[in-house]
Amino acid sequence: GHDTTTAGISWVLFLLALHPDVQERVYEEIESIFPPGDDRPATVQDLNELRLLERCIKESLRLFPSVSFFGRTLSEDIEIAGYHVPAGTIVGIHAYHVHRDERFYPEPEKFDPDRFLPENTEARHPYAYIPFSAGPRNCIGQKFALLEEKSIVSSVLRRFRLKSVRTRDEQRIMHELITRPKDGILLYLEARK
């Protein structure tokens, strides 16, 4: 999972760099746990308290799921939109597009971590957000991946302010096995004082 997690970290840093207001709120949350000058490593308990950062990571994974396309083989006949699809058919699921369904995500291209506040997720269809797949074949490492991403992103934000060289429109995406930033993500890192 290092490749998928690395991609996820890259995208969340990029999106936070593009949204300095959100980045500052995340930094304030981090600072409430790690006061300036506190260089101790984060514990799991610390990471669990970073709720805004977790919402930012989830929103980044909504916009740029690390694995944007996966397949499943039907184990039984089903009907989809009036069409009979027999068992044994391989069905492609494109999370990148599922995550842009306006029924669940108004203004789907907008970066809005508050989409993941508890009151905004409780009525959402469970398969409207599938960055780790879903059901019996979902990613067994998803909780670890979120902790890993929180650990790295919070460590970066404790030390630096981020600014992006590119806009969202300028940043190209490569949908390979992993959703990658074409030509990398270019950021300016400014040391926090």
Q: How far apart are the C-alpha atoms of 1 and 157, rounded to whole Å?
A: 23
DSSP readout, 5-59?
HHHHHHHHHHHHHH-HHHHHHHHHHHHHHS-TT--PPPPHHHHHT-HHHHHHHHH
Look at the chain and report how many structural domains it folds into.
1
Give residue 25's domain range.
1-191
Residue 56 in marked binding region: no
Pick 133 or 82 by higher pLDDT.
82
pTM of structure: 0.93
CATH of the domain at 49: 1.10.630.10
147-158 pLDDT tens trace: 999 999 999 999
pLDDT bin (cut points 50, 70, 90) of residue 1 is: low
pLDDT tens for each residue of 67-101: 889 889 999 999 999 999 999 999 999 999 999 99
